[in-house]
Structure 1
Amino acid sequence: MRYCDILLHLTDDGRGAEKTAMALSLAKRFDTTVTALYTLPFPTQIYYMGEYVPPSLIQQQVDETRALAVTARRDFEAAAKQAGVTASWIESDDDALSALQRHGRHCDLAVLGQPDPDRDPSALGGTLPGDLALALGRPVLVLPYIGQYAAPGKTVLIAWNDSREAARAVHDALPMLLAATSVIVLCIDGDEQQQRSAASLVQHLSHHGITAKLRHTTAADIGAGEALLSALADNSADLLVMGAYGHSRLREMTLGGVTHTILQSMTVPVLLGN
Protein backbone atom coordinates (compact mmCIF):
# COMPACT_ATOMS: atom_id res chain seq x y z
CA MET A 1 0.00 0.00 0.00
CA ARG A 2 1.40 3.40 -0.96
CA TYR A 3 0.58 6.95 -1.94
CA CYS A 4 0.53 7.27 -5.73
CA ASP A 5 0.47 11.05 -6.10
CA ILE A 6 1.37 13.85 -3.71
CA LEU A 7 0.26 17.47 -3.92
CA LEU A 8 2.74 19.94 -2.44
CA HIS A 9 1.60 23.45 -1.56
CA LEU A 10 4.21 26.14 -2.07
CA THR A 11 3.97 29.89 -1.64
CA ASP A 12 6.16 32.79 -0.58
CA ASP A 13 6.50 31.69 3.04
CA GLY A 14 10.22 31.07 3.31
CA ARG A 15 9.78 27.30 3.73
CA GLY A 16 9.75 26.15 0.13
CA ALA A 17 13.01 24.21 0.38
CA GLU A 18 11.94 22.39 3.55
CA LYS A 19 8.49 21.45 2.22
CA THR A 20 9.99 20.36 -1.10
CA ALA A 21 12.55 18.17 0.67
CA MET A 22 9.82 16.43 2.67
CA ALA A 23 7.56 15.87 -0.34
CA LEU A 24 10.41 14.53 -2.47
CA SER A 25 11.57 12.26 0.35
CA LEU A 26 8.07 10.80 0.59
CA ALA A 27 7.89 10.46 -3.19
CA LYS A 28 11.08 8.42 -3.23
CA ARG A 29 9.88 6.30 -0.31
CA PHE A 30 6.57 5.46 -2.00
CA ASP A 31 7.75 5.63 -5.63
CA THR A 32 5.25 8.33 -6.49
CA THR A 33 4.89 11.65 -8.29
CA VAL A 34 4.75 15.16 -6.83
CA THR A 35 2.72 18.08 -8.14
CA ALA A 36 3.69 21.46 -6.73
CA LEU A 37 0.83 23.94 -6.43
CA TYR A 38 2.16 27.48 -6.03
CA THR A 39 -0.40 30.01 -4.84
CA LEU A 40 0.35 33.64 -5.64
CA PRO A 41 -0.31 35.98 -2.70
CA PHE A 42 -2.87 38.71 -3.36
CA PRO A 43 -1.42 42.25 -3.50
CA THR A 44 -1.53 43.61 0.04
CA GLN A 45 -1.68 47.27 -0.97
CA ILE A 46 -5.35 47.10 -1.92
CA TYR A 47 -6.23 46.62 1.74
CA TYR A 48 -5.12 50.17 2.61
CA MET A 49 -8.65 51.42 3.11
CA GLY A 50 -9.29 55.12 2.56
CA GLU A 51 -6.05 55.71 0.70
CA TYR A 52 -5.46 55.92 -3.02
CA VAL A 53 -3.12 53.22 -4.22
CA PRO A 54 -1.61 53.82 -7.66
CA PRO A 55 -2.21 50.91 -10.03
CA SER A 56 1.51 50.95 -10.78
CA LEU A 57 2.25 50.08 -7.15
CA ILE A 58 -0.12 47.11 -7.25
CA GLN A 59 1.35 45.97 -10.56
CA GLN A 60 4.82 46.23 -9.08
CA GLN A 61 3.87 43.86 -6.28
CA VAL A 62 2.23 41.47 -8.76
CA ASP A 63 5.40 41.45 -10.85
CA GLU A 64 7.55 40.83 -7.78
CA THR A 65 5.28 37.98 -6.70
CA ARG A 66 5.45 36.35 -10.12
CA ALA A 67 9.23 36.71 -10.14
CA LEU A 68 9.36 34.83 -6.82
CA ALA A 69 7.17 32.12 -8.36
CA VAL A 70 9.62 31.75 -11.25
CA THR A 71 12.46 31.27 -8.78
CA ALA A 72 10.41 28.81 -6.71
CA ARG A 73 9.61 26.76 -9.80
CA ARG A 74 13.25 26.65 -10.83
CA ASP A 75 14.31 25.50 -7.37
CA PHE A 76 11.54 22.90 -7.14
CA GLU A 77 12.20 21.40 -10.56
CA ALA A 78 15.94 21.28 -9.90
CA ALA A 79 15.38 19.49 -6.58
CA ALA A 80 12.97 17.01 -8.17
CA LYS A 81 15.41 16.28 -10.98
CA GLN A 82 18.25 15.71 -8.55
CA ALA A 83 16.03 13.39 -6.48
CA GLY A 84 14.89 11.49 -9.57
CA VAL A 85 11.23 12.19 -8.85
CA THR A 86 8.62 12.78 -11.54
CA ALA A 87 7.20 16.23 -10.85
CA SER A 88 4.87 18.86 -12.30
CA TRP A 89 4.03 22.50 -11.53
CA ILE A 90 0.79 24.46 -11.19
CA GLU A 91 0.36 28.17 -10.39
CA SER A 92 -2.86 29.67 -9.10
CA ASP A 93 -4.13 33.18 -8.41
CA ASP A 94 -6.87 31.75 -6.17
CA ASP A 95 -6.64 31.84 -2.40
CA ALA A 96 -4.73 28.89 -1.00
CA LEU A 97 -7.74 27.00 0.37
CA SER A 98 -9.71 27.21 -2.88
CA ALA A 99 -6.73 26.21 -4.99
CA LEU A 100 -5.86 23.27 -2.74
CA GLN A 101 -9.45 22.06 -2.76
CA ARG A 102 -9.59 22.24 -6.54
CA HIS A 103 -6.39 20.33 -7.16
CA GLY A 104 -6.11 18.28 -3.97
CA ARG A 105 -9.09 16.02 -4.50
CA HIS A 106 -7.14 14.20 -7.19
CA CYS A 107 -4.19 13.28 -4.98
CA ASP A 108 -3.49 10.73 -2.26
CA LEU A 109 -1.78 13.14 0.12
CA ALA A 110 -1.59 16.94 0.39
CA VAL A 111 1.57 18.39 1.93
CA LEU A 112 1.61 21.95 3.22
CA GLY A 113 3.23 24.09 5.88
CA GLN A 114 2.05 25.35 9.24
CA PRO A 115 1.48 29.07 8.65
CA ASP A 116 4.19 31.31 10.04
CA PRO A 117 2.28 34.22 11.60
CA ASP A 118 5.19 36.55 10.90
CA ARG A 119 5.55 35.75 7.20
CA ASP A 120 2.58 34.18 5.45
CA PRO A 121 -0.07 36.72 4.39
CA SER A 122 -2.13 34.04 2.62
CA ALA A 123 -2.51 31.73 5.62
CA LEU A 124 -6.16 32.61 6.30
CA GLY A 125 -5.48 33.63 9.86
CA GLY A 126 -3.37 30.56 10.55
CA THR A 127 -6.23 28.13 9.98
CA LEU A 128 -5.35 26.81 6.51
CA PRO A 129 -4.25 23.27 7.54
CA GLY A 130 -7.34 22.68 9.67
CA ASP A 131 -9.69 24.21 7.11
CA LEU A 132 -8.17 22.06 4.38
CA ALA A 133 -8.42 18.88 6.44
CA LEU A 134 -12.13 19.56 6.92
CA ALA A 135 -12.80 20.44 3.29
CA LEU A 136 -10.53 18.29 1.16
CA GLY A 137 -11.54 14.68 1.74
CA ARG A 138 -7.88 13.63 1.53
CA PRO A 139 -5.21 13.29 4.22
CA VAL A 140 -3.26 16.46 4.94
CA LEU A 141 0.36 16.34 6.10
CA VAL A 142 1.43 19.57 7.81
CA LEU A 143 5.06 20.63 8.26
CA PRO A 144 5.95 22.89 11.22
CA TYR A 145 7.22 26.32 10.21
CA ILE A 146 10.34 25.81 12.35
CA GLY A 147 12.82 22.94 12.03
CA GLN A 148 13.96 20.36 9.50
CA TYR A 149 11.75 17.32 8.84
CA ALA A 150 12.79 15.90 5.49
CA ALA A 151 11.84 12.29 6.21
CA PRO A 152 9.15 11.97 8.92
CA GLY A 153 7.60 8.67 9.88
CA LYS A 154 10.29 6.61 11.61
CA THR A 155 8.44 6.75 14.94
CA VAL A 156 4.73 7.44 14.51
CA LEU A 157 2.40 8.34 17.35
CA ILE A 158 -1.35 7.87 16.79
CA ALA A 159 -3.66 10.04 18.92
CA TRP A 160 -6.61 7.70 19.48
CA ASN A 161 -9.98 8.73 20.92
CA ASP A 162 -12.29 6.22 19.22
CA SER A 163 -13.72 8.90 16.92
CA ARG A 164 -14.62 8.70 13.25
CA GLU A 165 -11.97 11.31 12.50
CA ALA A 166 -9.25 9.32 14.26
CA ALA A 167 -10.25 6.15 12.42
CA ARG A 168 -10.09 8.02 9.12
CA ALA A 169 -6.65 9.39 9.98
CA VAL A 170 -5.29 5.94 10.79
CA HIS A 171 -6.56 4.53 7.52
CA ASP A 172 -5.12 7.46 5.57
CA ALA A 173 -1.77 6.98 7.33
CA LEU A 174 -1.45 3.24 6.60
CA PRO A 175 1.35 3.69 4.03
CA MET A 176 3.32 5.69 6.61
CA LEU A 177 2.57 3.17 9.36
CA LEU A 178 3.70 0.27 7.20
CA ALA A 179 7.00 2.02 6.53
CA ALA A 180 7.57 3.09 10.16
CA THR A 181 10.10 1.55 12.51
CA SER A 182 7.90 2.13 15.56
CA VAL A 183 4.16 2.83 15.94
CA ILE A 184 2.54 3.96 19.19
CA VAL A 185 -1.20 4.16 19.85
CA LEU A 186 -1.81 6.74 22.56
CA CYS A 187 -5.05 7.06 24.51
CA ILE A 188 -5.37 10.21 26.67
CA ASP A 189 -7.82 10.15 29.58
CA GLY A 190 -9.60 7.27 27.90
CA ASP A 191 -12.65 5.72 29.51
CA GLU A 192 -13.16 1.97 29.47
CA GLN A 193 -14.70 2.03 26.00
CA GLN A 194 -11.87 4.07 24.54
CA GLN A 195 -9.28 1.79 26.11
CA ARG A 196 -10.95 -1.27 24.63
CA SER A 197 -11.14 0.48 21.28
CA ALA A 198 -7.44 1.37 21.44
CA ALA A 199 -6.57 -2.27 22.12
CA SER A 200 -8.73 -3.30 19.16
CA LEU A 201 -6.91 -0.79 16.96
CA VAL A 202 -3.57 -2.35 17.90
CA GLN A 203 -4.97 -5.74 16.89
CA HIS A 204 -6.36 -4.31 13.64
CA LEU A 205 -2.98 -2.84 12.75
CA SER A 206 -1.37 -6.23 13.35
CA HIS A 207 -3.59 -7.62 10.58
CA HIS A 208 -1.79 -5.18 8.27
CA GLY A 209 1.59 -6.38 9.49
CA ILE A 210 2.08 -3.35 11.76
CA THR A 211 3.29 -3.97 15.30
CA ALA A 212 2.00 -1.12 17.47
CA LYS A 213 2.50 -0.40 21.16
CA LEU A 214 -0.47 0.74 23.24
CA ARG A 215 0.09 3.46 25.80
CA HIS A 216 -2.22 5.40 28.09
CA THR A 217 -1.70 8.76 29.74
CA THR A 218 -3.65 11.42 31.60
CA ALA A 219 -3.87 15.09 30.76
CA ALA A 220 -4.23 16.20 34.39
CA ASP A 221 -4.24 19.99 34.56
CA ILE A 222 -2.33 20.69 31.34
CA GLY A 223 -5.05 19.68 28.87
CA ALA A 224 -5.12 16.94 26.24
CA GLY A 225 -3.33 19.02 23.61
CA GLU A 226 -0.36 19.75 25.86
CA ALA A 227 -0.35 16.13 27.05
CA LEU A 228 -0.11 15.03 23.43
CA LEU A 229 2.80 17.40 22.74
CA SER A 230 4.53 16.03 25.83
CA ALA A 231 3.97 12.44 24.67
CA LEU A 232 5.52 13.23 21.30
CA ALA A 233 8.68 14.41 23.02
CA ASP A 234 8.74 11.55 25.55
CA ASN A 235 8.50 8.95 22.80
CA SER A 236 10.85 10.74 20.36
CA ALA A 237 8.07 10.58 17.76
CA ASP A 238 8.70 12.31 14.45
CA LEU A 239 5.14 12.08 13.08
CA LEU A 240 1.73 12.54 14.69
CA VAL A 241 -1.40 10.96 13.20
CA MET A 242 -4.69 12.40 14.44
CA GLY A 243 -8.24 13.19 13.44
CA ALA A 244 -9.07 16.81 12.72
CA TYR A 245 -11.69 18.48 14.91
CA GLY A 246 -13.49 15.71 16.75
CA HIS A 247 -15.91 18.37 18.04
CA SER A 248 -17.45 21.21 16.08
CA ARG A 249 -14.96 23.68 14.66
CA LEU A 250 -16.54 26.55 16.62
CA ARG A 251 -16.27 24.62 19.89
CA GLU A 252 -12.64 23.74 19.17
CA MET A 253 -11.71 27.35 18.46
CA THR A 254 -13.67 28.72 21.43
CA LEU A 255 -12.66 26.21 24.08
CA GLY A 256 -9.21 25.39 22.77
CA GLY A 257 -9.52 21.84 21.42
CA VAL A 258 -6.74 19.35 20.80
CA THR A 259 -6.58 19.99 17.06
CA HIS A 260 -6.36 23.72 17.57
CA THR A 261 -3.59 23.33 20.15
CA ILE A 262 -1.55 21.03 17.93
CA LEU A 263 -1.90 23.18 14.82
CA GLN A 264 -0.79 26.23 16.78
CA SER A 265 2.11 24.58 18.62
CA MET A 266 3.15 21.55 16.55
CA THR A 267 6.65 20.21 17.13
CA VAL A 268 6.65 17.45 14.49
CA PRO A 269 4.82 16.93 11.19
CA VAL A 270 1.15 16.09 11.65
CA LEU A 271 -1.00 13.92 9.40
CA LEU A 272 -4.62 15.00 9.71
CA GLY A 273 -7.62 12.91 8.67
CA ASN A 274 -11.29 13.82 8.78
Structure 2
Amino acid sequence: MAILWTEQTAGPVLALATRLARRFNGRVTGLAIRPAFESFVPSGDFGLALSQEYLDRLQQDGTARLTKLKSLFDAHVGAENITADWMEAQGPSADAIASAGRLFDISVLARPDAGGSAEPEIMLEAALFETGRPILMAPPTLPETDGTRVLIAWNGSSETARSVGTAMPLLHKAEEIHIISVDSGMATGPSARDVAAYLEKHDLRATYAHMQVGEKNAGAVWLDEAQRLGCDLMIKGAYTQSRLRQMIFGGATVHILNHAKIPVFFAH
Protein backbone atom coordinates (compact mmCIF):
# COMPACT_ATOMS: atom_id res chain seq x y z
CA MET A 1 0.00 0.00 0.00
CA ALA A 2 1.43 3.37 -1.07
CA ILE A 3 0.29 6.07 1.36
CA LEU A 4 0.19 9.46 -0.37
CA TRP A 5 -0.07 12.80 1.40
CA THR A 6 1.44 15.60 -0.70
CA GLU A 7 2.41 16.05 -4.33
CA GLN A 8 6.01 16.70 -3.26
CA THR A 9 6.42 13.35 -1.50
CA ALA A 10 4.19 11.23 -3.73
CA GLY A 11 6.86 10.70 -6.41
CA PRO A 12 9.43 8.85 -4.27
CA VAL A 13 6.71 6.83 -2.54
CA LEU A 14 5.19 5.70 -5.84
CA ALA A 15 8.58 4.94 -7.37
CA LEU A 16 9.60 2.82 -4.39
CA ALA A 17 6.26 1.02 -4.25
CA THR A 18 6.31 0.17 -7.96
CA ARG A 19 9.91 -1.07 -7.78
CA LEU A 20 8.88 -3.36 -4.95
CA ALA A 21 5.81 -4.59 -6.81
CA ARG A 22 7.83 -5.35 -9.93
CA ARG A 23 10.47 -7.24 -7.96
CA PHE A 24 7.89 -9.52 -6.36
CA ASN A 25 5.26 -9.58 -9.11
CA GLY A 26 2.87 -7.72 -6.83
CA ARG A 27 0.36 -4.92 -7.11
CA VAL A 28 0.22 -1.39 -5.75
CA THR A 29 -2.74 0.14 -3.97
CA GLY A 30 -2.64 3.88 -3.51
CA LEU A 31 -4.26 5.37 -0.41
CA ALA A 32 -5.12 9.05 -0.03
CA ILE A 33 -6.86 10.46 3.02
CA ARG A 34 -9.24 13.38 3.27
CA PRO A 35 -9.24 14.77 6.82
CA ALA A 36 -12.62 15.15 8.52
CA PHE A 37 -13.18 18.80 9.42
CA GLU A 38 -15.30 19.58 12.45
CA SER A 39 -17.39 22.74 12.72
CA PHE A 40 -16.44 23.13 16.38
CA VAL A 41 -12.83 23.08 17.58
CA PRO A 42 -11.95 22.90 21.30
CA SER A 43 -10.24 26.12 22.39
CA GLY A 44 -9.87 27.22 26.00
CA ASP A 45 -12.99 26.76 28.11
CA PHE A 46 -15.56 27.29 25.39
CA GLY A 47 -14.25 26.21 22.00
CA LEU A 48 -14.14 27.88 18.63
CA ALA A 49 -16.83 27.67 15.98
CA LEU A 50 -15.63 27.61 12.37
CA SER A 51 -17.62 29.39 9.69
CA GLN A 52 -19.29 27.37 7.00
CA GLU A 53 -17.36 29.34 4.39
CA TYR A 54 -14.06 28.31 5.97
CA LEU A 55 -15.17 24.68 6.25
CA ASP A 56 -16.22 24.70 2.59
CA ARG A 57 -12.80 26.04 1.61
CA LEU A 58 -11.08 23.28 3.57
CA GLN A 59 -13.23 20.67 1.87
CA GLN A 60 -12.49 22.14 -1.56
CA ASP A 61 -8.75 22.15 -0.84
CA GLY A 62 -8.98 18.54 0.30
CA THR A 63 -10.83 17.52 -2.85
CA ALA A 64 -8.27 19.29 -5.04
CA ARG A 65 -5.39 17.60 -3.21
CA LEU A 66 -6.89 14.13 -3.64
CA THR A 67 -7.62 14.80 -7.31
CA LYS A 68 -3.98 15.74 -7.91
CA LEU A 69 -2.72 12.70 -6.02
CA LYS A 70 -5.01 10.41 -8.00
CA SER A 71 -3.72 11.92 -11.27
CA LEU A 72 -0.12 11.39 -10.17
CA PHE A 73 -0.90 7.83 -9.16
CA ASP A 74 -2.64 6.99 -12.45
CA ALA A 75 0.17 8.51 -14.51
CA HIS A 76 2.88 6.69 -12.57
CA VAL A 77 1.38 3.20 -12.50
CA GLY A 78 0.33 3.60 -16.13
CA ALA A 79 3.86 4.47 -17.20
CA GLU A 80 5.29 1.61 -15.13
CA ASN A 81 2.66 -0.87 -16.38
CA ILE A 82 1.97 -2.08 -12.84
CA THR A 83 -1.26 -3.68 -11.66
CA ALA A 84 -2.79 -1.13 -9.32
CA ASP A 85 -5.90 0.16 -7.61
CA TRP A 86 -6.89 3.24 -5.67
CA MET A 87 -8.44 3.86 -2.25
CA GLU A 88 -9.68 7.02 -0.56
CA ALA A 89 -10.55 7.39 3.10
CA GLN A 90 -12.01 10.20 5.17
CA GLY A 91 -11.24 10.91 8.80
CA PRO A 92 -8.18 11.01 11.03
CA SER A 93 -5.21 9.72 9.05
CA ALA A 94 -4.03 7.43 11.86
CA ASP A 95 -7.40 5.67 11.99
CA ALA A 96 -7.61 5.28 8.21
CA ILE A 97 -4.10 3.84 7.94
CA ALA A 98 -4.55 1.53 10.92
CA SER A 99 -7.68 0.05 9.39
CA ALA A 100 -6.57 -0.21 5.76
CA GLY A 101 -2.97 -1.25 6.39
CA ARG A 102 -3.82 -4.46 8.22
CA LEU A 103 -4.78 -6.12 4.94
CA PHE A 104 -1.62 -5.25 2.99
CA ASP A 105 1.79 -6.91 3.09
CA ILE A 106 3.63 -3.63 3.58
CA SER A 107 2.99 0.12 3.69
CA VAL A 108 5.24 2.47 1.73
CA LEU A 109 5.26 6.09 2.81
CA ALA A 110 7.40 9.20 2.86
CA ARG A 111 10.11 10.10 5.34
CA PRO A 112 8.74 12.77 7.69
CA ASP A 113 10.14 16.27 7.27
CA ALA A 114 11.80 17.24 10.55
CA GLY A 115 10.73 20.86 10.16
CA GLY A 116 7.39 20.35 8.46
CA SER A 117 3.88 19.18 9.25
CA ALA A 118 3.40 16.61 12.01
CA GLU A 119 0.96 14.66 9.85
CA PRO A 120 3.53 12.50 7.98
CA GLU A 121 5.02 11.32 11.28
CA ILE A 122 1.54 10.56 12.65
CA MET A 123 0.84 8.51 9.52
CA LEU A 124 4.16 6.67 9.72
CA GLU A 125 3.65 5.75 13.36
CA ALA A 126 0.10 4.56 12.67
CA ALA A 127 1.38 2.30 9.89
CA LEU A 128 4.16 1.02 12.12
CA PHE A 129 2.31 0.48 15.39
CA GLU A 130 -1.32 -0.11 14.44
CA THR A 131 -1.30 -2.32 11.33
CA GLY A 132 0.80 -5.26 12.51
CA ARG A 133 2.71 -4.95 9.23
CA PRO A 134 6.15 -3.60 8.27
CA ILE A 135 6.71 -0.28 6.57
CA LEU A 136 9.14 0.93 3.93
CA MET A 137 10.10 4.59 4.26
CA ALA A 138 11.00 6.51 1.11
CA PRO A 139 13.57 9.34 1.37
CA PRO A 140 12.95 12.61 -0.51
CA THR A 141 15.29 11.48 -3.30
CA LEU A 142 15.53 7.78 -4.11
CA PRO A 143 18.84 6.13 -4.96
CA GLU A 144 19.05 4.56 -8.40
CA THR A 145 18.65 1.11 -6.86
CA ASP A 146 17.18 -0.23 -3.65
CA GLY A 147 17.61 -3.60 -2.02
CA THR A 148 20.81 -4.49 -3.90
CA ARG A 149 23.15 -3.79 -0.97
CA VAL A 150 21.44 -4.04 2.39
CA LEU A 151 22.58 -2.87 5.80
CA ILE A 152 21.00 -4.50 8.85
CA ALA A 153 21.16 -2.07 11.79
CA TRP A 154 21.46 -4.71 14.49
CA ASN A 155 21.01 -4.02 18.20
CA GLY A 156 20.01 -7.44 19.51
CA SER A 157 16.39 -6.42 20.20
CA SER A 158 13.20 -8.34 19.48
CA GLU A 159 12.06 -5.46 17.23
CA THR A 160 15.14 -5.79 15.04
CA ALA A 161 14.86 -9.58 15.02
CA ARG A 162 11.28 -9.20 13.80
CA SER A 163 12.42 -6.79 11.10
CA VAL A 164 15.07 -9.21 9.85
CA GLY A 165 12.65 -12.12 9.79
CA THR A 166 9.94 -10.12 8.03
CA ALA A 167 12.42 -8.76 5.49
CA MET A 168 13.68 -12.20 4.49
CA PRO A 169 12.19 -11.98 0.95
CA LEU A 170 14.11 -8.72 0.43
CA LEU A 171 17.31 -10.25 1.78
CA HIS A 172 17.05 -13.13 -0.68
CA LYS A 173 16.98 -10.58 -3.52
CA ALA A 174 20.06 -8.70 -2.24
CA GLU A 175 23.55 -9.00 -3.72
CA GLU A 176 25.29 -7.88 -0.52
CA ILE A 177 24.20 -7.97 3.13
CA HIS A 178 26.10 -6.12 5.86
CA ILE A 179 25.22 -6.53 9.54
CA ILE A 180 26.41 -3.65 11.69
CA SER A 181 26.03 -3.51 15.46
CA VAL A 182 27.12 -0.65 17.68
CA ASP A 183 28.16 -0.36 21.31
CA SER A 184 25.29 1.98 22.20
CA GLY A 185 21.79 0.73 22.99
CA MET A 186 22.54 -2.96 22.43
CA ALA A 187 19.93 -5.21 23.99
CA THR A 188 20.91 -8.45 25.67
CA GLY A 189 20.68 -10.84 22.76
CA PRO A 190 22.41 -12.26 19.70
CA SER A 191 25.46 -10.54 18.25
CA ALA A 192 25.97 -9.43 14.65
CA ARG A 193 28.05 -12.56 14.16
CA ASP A 194 25.13 -14.68 15.40
CA VAL A 195 22.84 -12.98 12.88
CA ALA A 196 25.27 -13.79 10.07
CA ALA A 197 25.26 -17.44 11.16
CA TYR A 198 21.45 -17.42 11.21
CA LEU A 199 21.27 -15.96 7.70
CA GLU A 200 23.75 -18.55 6.44
CA LYS A 201 21.25 -21.24 7.42
CA HIS A 202 18.93 -19.55 4.92
CA ASP A 203 21.64 -19.62 2.23
CA LEU A 204 22.40 -15.92 2.70
CA ARG A 205 26.00 -14.71 3.01
CA ALA A 206 26.57 -11.59 5.08
CA THR A 207 29.47 -9.60 6.46
CA TYR A 208 29.32 -8.36 10.04
CA ALA A 209 31.05 -5.77 12.20
CA HIS A 210 30.70 -4.17 15.63
CA MET A 211 31.40 -0.44 15.78
CA GLN A 212 32.16 2.11 18.47
CA VAL A 213 29.72 5.01 18.59
CA GLY A 214 31.73 7.45 20.68
CA GLU A 215 29.83 10.71 20.98
CA LYS A 216 27.74 10.11 17.84
CA ASN A 217 24.13 9.02 17.71
CA ALA A 218 23.86 5.31 16.87
CA GLY A 219 21.53 6.18 14.01
CA ALA A 220 24.18 8.48 12.53
CA VAL A 221 26.75 5.68 12.73
CA TRP A 222 24.45 3.29 10.87
CA LEU A 223 23.65 5.88 8.19
CA ASP A 224 27.32 6.77 7.74
CA GLU A 225 28.26 3.12 7.43
CA ALA A 226 25.47 2.53 4.93
CA GLN A 227 26.86 5.36 2.81
CA ARG A 228 30.43 4.07 3.09
CA LEU A 229 29.37 0.58 2.00
CA GLY A 230 27.20 1.88 -0.83
CA CYS A 231 24.04 0.38 0.66
CA ASP A 232 20.70 1.27 -0.87
CA LEU A 233 18.41 -0.21 1.81
CA MET A 234 18.49 -0.34 5.61
CA ILE A 235 16.63 -2.83 7.78
CA LYS A 236 15.95 -1.72 11.33
CA GLY A 237 13.71 -2.41 14.28
CA ALA A 238 11.78 0.71 15.22
CA TYR A 239 11.71 2.32 18.65
CA THR A 240 13.56 -0.27 20.70
CA GLN A 241 13.52 2.46 23.36
CA SER A 242 10.19 4.11 24.18
CA ARG A 243 9.02 6.78 21.76
CA LEU A 244 8.87 9.33 24.59
CA ARG A 245 12.45 8.61 25.62
CA GLN A 246 13.61 8.87 22.01
CA MET A 247 11.84 12.22 21.54
CA ILE A 248 13.39 13.62 24.71
CA PHE A 249 16.90 12.23 24.48
CA GLY A 250 17.24 11.58 20.76
CA GLY A 251 17.32 7.92 19.79
CA ALA A 252 18.59 6.06 16.75
CA THR A 253 15.13 5.63 15.22
CA VAL A 254 14.36 9.35 15.44
CA HIS A 255 17.72 10.22 13.86
CA ILE A 256 17.12 7.81 10.98
CA LEU A 257 13.56 9.08 10.48
CA ASN A 258 14.94 12.60 10.13
CA HIS A 259 18.07 11.96 8.08
CA ALA A 260 17.91 8.73 6.04
CA LYS A 261 18.84 9.16 2.38
CA ILE A 262 18.08 5.54 1.49
CA PRO A 263 14.87 3.53 1.93
CA VAL A 264 14.46 2.06 5.40
CA PHE A 265 12.48 -1.09 6.21
CA PHE A 266 11.01 -0.89 9.72
CA ALA A 267 9.07 -3.35 11.85
CA HIS A 268 8.11 -3.09 15.49
Q: 1:68 to 1:250 in 2, by over 3 A?
A: closer
Say whether 1:101 aligns with 2:98: yes
Q: Secondary structure at the match of 2:224?
A: helix
Q: Is the partner of 2:160 in helix, strand or coil?
A: helix
1:49-74 Cα shifts (integer Å, max 9, x gaps): 68764312321221122122122212
Matches within 5 A, 1:164-183: 164-183=158-177
1:180-226: CA deviations, max 9, x gaps?
Answer: 11110001117999796321211221222221111221101113122
Q: Which consecutive unaligned segments of at least 5 residues does structure 2 have?
A: none
* d(CA) in 1 for partners of 2:41, 2:231: 42
Q: Which runs of 5+ in 1 are unaligned?
A: 1-6
Name the counterpart of 1:37.
31
1:136 aligns to 2:134 (yes or no): no
Residue 151 of structure 2: aligned partner: 157
Quote the Cα distance in structure 1 between the aligned partners of 2:259 and 2:105.
26
Superposed displacement of residue 45, structure 1: 9.9
Tell me what 2:70 maps to: 73
Name the amino acid aligned to 1:112.
L
Helix, strand or coil at the partner of 2:32: strand
For the 8 Å contact 1:187–1:194, the answer to whether it is kept is: no
Give the 3-state SS of the residue equivalent to 2:74 in structure 1: helix
Q: 1:205 aligns with which of 199, 203, 209?
A: 199
Say yes or no: does 1:115 pair with 2:112: yes
Return the letter of the residue paired with 1:137: G
Secondary structure class of the residue paired with 2:181: strand
| Count of matched residue positions in the alignment of Structure 1 and Structure 2 | 265
CA distance change for structure 1 residues 163 and 118 in 2, over 3 Å: closer, same or farther? closer
TM-score w.r.t. the length of structure 1 is 0.86
Counterpart mapping for 1:72-91 below 5 A? 72-91=69-88
User: 1:213, 1:147 → 2: CA distance?
Assistant: 27
**Once the two structures are aligned, what percentage of the paired residues are identical?**
28
Tell me the residue number matched to 1:4: none
In structure 1, what is the Cα distance between the partners aligned to 2:250 and 2:10? 30
Alpha-carbon distance between aligned partners in 2 of 1:88 and 1:150, rounded to the nearest angstrom: 25
Please tell me the residue identity of whatever aligns with 2:154.
W
**Cα distance in 1, alignment partners of residues 230 and 54 from structure 2:** 49
Equivalent residue for 1:264, pick from 239, 258, 263:
258
Query: In structure 2, do the counterparts of structure 1 residues 46 and 225 end up closer, same or farther at CA, with 3 Å as the change threshold?
Result: farther
Instruction: Please tell me the residue identity of whatever aligns with 1:138.
Output: R
